[in-house]
Amino acid sequence: MSTHAGRGNEQPPLTAEQRERLVRIWRSCCGTLQTVVTDLKITQDELKLAGQFFNRLGQSGMFPSLLAVGLSMTSMRVTEGFAGTPPNLEGPYHVPNAPVRNNGVLWEKPLSPDARYLELSGVVRDSGNGKPLANVELDFWQADDDGVYDNVGYHLRGRVLTDAEGRYTVRSIVPKDYSEHDHDPIGELFRAMDRHNRRAAHIHLKVRREGYLPLTTQLYMPDGAYLHSDYVEGAVVPELIVKFEKTDADERKVVARFDLEITPTAAAKAA
């Protein structure tokens, strides 16, 4: 019997290039954190508390989520900083192969009396020359007006295609902000810092077209209560906030426009 517990969970051997990069990352992280320890005079007791927290975090399976909360947006900006609409987190709730909504309507279930109808439209263009792009697939998913995702069916999920002039229209509802990590170590950390753990109200979107880089982003509602304090560091940027235009005919309906730009694969490779 092997004396090395957990060998079955080990990762495959690293290549020489991967090992060299790992060493560089490790040394850089240690150097930066040593500066933090020095500047803030972090004590042994505080280090022990941090170690115990990271143990709980690892056991919960939430360590990747904490890294995403603090660092993913920065990573996107330095590694995916191409022209066009800014990318944003995919999050955990995307379901592939959502139905194609030829009429643009995303809801499948009766809506609550308090739901606000949203008509969202825009044009998808080439980020280089501004040309409208036909047959672009836009894959939408979102929470409802209680901040809940349908993770069983396809309510408030769906795909639409742009027309010959690059235009799209979807009909949905205005989503609500929602809390995450109420019962895990990430929530524990945020409560210790006296911070909330709410996401600003948003709609998720994937944009795909042959010959172009795929785009994953989020569109933020302009009247959300947590627009300026979303707990994901750097998630909300002005370029991703839609603008509402209230209609005179129906107080429960808002119209919004959001144009998108995607980058040709060839242009990204040249950069």
User: Who has greater pLDDT, 2 or 124?
Assistant: 124
Q: Please, what is the Cα angle at 116 between 110 and 119, to 5 degrees? A: 95
Distance CA 13, CA 16 (A): 9
What pTM value is reported for the model?
0.87
pLDDT of residue 80: 80
- Residue 9 has a pLDDT of 65
Whether residue 19 has pLDDT greater than 50: yes
Closest CA to 226 of 149, 143, 158: 143
Report, at the CATH architecture level, how domain 117-270 is classified: Sandwich (2.60)
- Report percent pLDDT > 90 for the chain: 85
Residue 221, pLDDT above cutoff 70: yes
Listed by start position, the domains of the chain span 117-270
Q: Higher-confidence residue: 202 or 180?
A: 202
Compute the average pLDDT of residues 181-192: 94
CA distances from 95 to 167, 199, 204, 241 (A): 24, 19, 11, 24
Asked whether residue 1 carries a pLDDT value surpassing 60, the answer given is no
* Mean pLDDT on 26-44: 95
pLDDT, average across residues 169-185? 95
45-99 pLDDT per residue, tens = 999 999 999 999 999 999 999 999 999 999 988 888 678 999 999 999 999 999 9
